[in-house]
Amino acid sequence: MPLPPTSTKSILDIRAEILEGKRSTNEEIWVSYQPFLFSRGYKLRPRYSPDWQPSWKLAGDKSPRIYLYEDAITPYRADVVMDAIRMADNRHVALKKVETSSEEVEIAQFLSSSEIASDPRNHSVPIFEIIHHPDNKDVTFLVMPVLLEMDYLPFRRLGEFAEAPELIRRAGPAIHARQQYRT
């Protein structure tokens, strides 16, 4: 999925908008998805509820330290990934919005198939569920566990750091040992 166009707004403009309780265009898209995702058992942060009111405004707080409030936090890549709570088991999950026609959906299904997922050499992120949006045939959500970014992994020892590329390298042959993905 291509990156969104670079914004011409300054950091100060963005902070002022957040202080006022405004959501970005990308966030408004998630607000539009919220009722559907809730009906499927996924609860987004309060900020993405259609009737959201900023908690710092409700509390009468006019200080610029609104980042003390959970609903003032905006995800880095809100255009593509959003976190949610899976209501069935209260698990924190990531929802990745992808184009339905992209190869990513097909690859995710393949890597999450029981035969491939059960292979101990497969270290790919498990996909819990694939949800197709009923009103927008171009949008599909991949539901997966929340993961840390690669550059923030909590390596405690040099050996753990050195082992990570080896685990990634082993994933390729694990897939090809079962079958070729593309014919």
SS3 per-residue string spanning 34-99: HHHHHHCCEEECHHHCCCCCCHHHHCCCCCCCHHHCHHHCCCCCCCCEEEEEECCCCEEEEEEEEE
Residue 141, pLDDT score: 96
Residue 117, pLDDT score: 81
* 134 or 168, higher pLDDT: 134
What confidence category does residue 34 fall into, taking pLDDT thresholds of 50, 70 and 90? very high
Q: Nearest CA to 94 among 38, 30, 146?
A: 146
Mean pLDDT of 4-10: 60
137-182 per-position pLDDT tens digit: 999 999 999 886 545 556 667 676 677 677 667 666 655 555 544 4
42-99 per-position pLDDT tens digit: 999 999 999 999 888 887 777 667 778 888 877 777 789 999 999 999 999 999 999 9
> Exposed e or buried b for every residue in 50-71, given b needs 16+ CB within 10 A?
eebebbbeeeeeeeeebeebeb
For residue 31, pLDDT beyond 90: yes
What confidence category does residue 183 fall into, taking pLDDT thresholds of 50, 70 and 90? very low
Residue 116, pLDDT score: 82
